[in-house]
Structure 1
Amino acid sequence: MSRVIKAQPLTAQAFAPFGDVLEASGAPDKIINQGMCGRFHDLAQMDFAAGRAGISLFHAQPRALPYTLDMVERHPQGSQAFLPMSQDSFLVIVAPDLGDAPGLPAAFLTRPGQGVNYHRGTWHGVLTPLAAPGLFAVVDRIGEGANLQEHWFDQPYQITL
């Protein structure tokens, strides 16, 4: 028997314990480029142990709802930002840290144009686009040393809307 978690809309307040919501909403912080561009400045705190920030592209296969969550992962050496390269929503799954294991997961559904930055060490689900193309720019730590821990649930969760 699986446990059901209902995805909620992604908001900065609800997501704050796990990371930052990245979006261009409201008035920009500054107008640049001859008055033709609004800059939404410094939206996330990138946090790395030894190593450096790198930018990668991820191309993930779309998933369907209900989604079966059987595993979460975390990166103890650095934060990780996911910026969709299309105007499609995606599923964001996080869980509080209970020492060496995740607590009860929470699920969020992004609005088109939202991205996320997971704080260093935050338990999170795998990249879960709900529509093609599933293309994301990812900013995360590049460096030596183990930076991936996985936790497999004894009993999976079902994520629904």
Structure 2
Amino acid sequence: MSHALTPLPLTAETFAPFGDVIELRDSPDKIINQGMCGRHHDLAQMDFNGGRAGISLFDATPRAFPYHLDMVERHPLGSQAFLPLTPAPFLVIVAPDEDGTPGTPRAFLTAPHQGINFHINTWHGVLTPLHAPGLFAVVDRIGDGTNLEEYWFDDPYTVVAP
């Protein structure tokens, strides 16, 4: 039996229990580079338990609605930020932790140019672009230790188009 989820628009308020929405503020924190650049400063709470921050590029295959969700994962040793390199929206899936396992997932659809940062140990779906190319800069923990836990749902979810 599959459960249906409909993605909601991604907002900082609705995503706050799971992480940060990375987007331009209404106005920059400061103007730099001879007055030609607005700096929107410190937009995500990056957290690493040992190791160091690394920047990687992900080239993900686009998915489509309806999207079959049968697995989520989390990273107990570090946060993970996804910064799209195109303006196309992407699907973000998260789930609250309920005594070490994921609760009912929630789905969000980003607006163009929004990125996200999953807080440390947050259950989330895999990277899910909806359009090609699925190019993302990813900032996450590089280091020793097991920083990946997967959970497979007995009853999968289906994310339907909003």
Fold agreement, TM-score > 0.5: yes
Q: Which residue of 2 aligns with 1:78?
A: 78
Return the alpha-carbon distance in structure 1 between the equivalents of residues 39 and 66 of structure 2: 37
Q: Which residue of 1 aligns with 2:21?
A: 21
Q: Which residue of 2 aligns with 1:11?
A: 11
Alignment of 1:95-114 (within 5 A): 95-114=95-114
Return the alpha-carbon distance in structure 1 between the equivalents of residues 30 and 7 of structure 2: 33
Return the alpha-carbon distance in structure 2 between the equivalents of residues 60 and 100 of structure 1: 28
Deviates more, 1:69-78 or 1:23-32: 23-32
Gaps of 5+ in 2: none
Return the alpha-carbon distance in structure 2 between the equivalents of residues 50 and 34 of structure 1: 37
CA deviation after TM superposition for structure 1 residue 49, in Å? 0.5
Look up the equivalent residue of 2:99 and give its one-letter code.
G
Alignment of 1:5-154 (within 5 A): 5-154=5-154
Return the alpha-carbon distance in structure 1 between the equivalents of residues 25 and 157 of structure 2: 32
Return the alpha-carbon distance in structure 2 between the equivalents of residues 131 and 25 of structure 1: 25
Deviates more, 1:135-144 or 1:30-39: 30-39
* Residue correspondences, number: 161
Look up the equivalent residue of 1:112 and give its one-letter code.
P
User: Normalising by the residue count of structure 1, what TM-score does the alignment of the two structures yield?
Assistant: 0.99
Return the alpha-carbon distance in structure 2 between the equivalents of residues 117 and 99 of structure 1: 22
- SS of alignment partner, residue 147 of structure 1: coil
Q: Which runs of 4+ in 1 moved over 4 A?
A: none
Look up the equivalent residue of 1:119 and give its one-letter code.
H
Q: What is the identity percentage for the equivalent residue pairs of Structure 1 and Structure 2?
A: 70
User: Normalising by the residue count of structure 2, what TM-score does the alignment of the two structures yield?
Assistant: 0.98
Gaps of 5+ in 1: none
CA deviation after TM superposition for structure 1 residue 24, in Å? 1.1
Look up the equivalent residue of 1:75 and give its one-letter code.
H
- SS of alignment partner, residue 50 of structure 2: coil
CA deviation after TM superposition for structure 1 residue 25, in Å? 3.4
- SS of alignment partner, residue 101 of structure 2: coil
Over aligned residues, Cα RMSD in angstroms?
A: 0.6
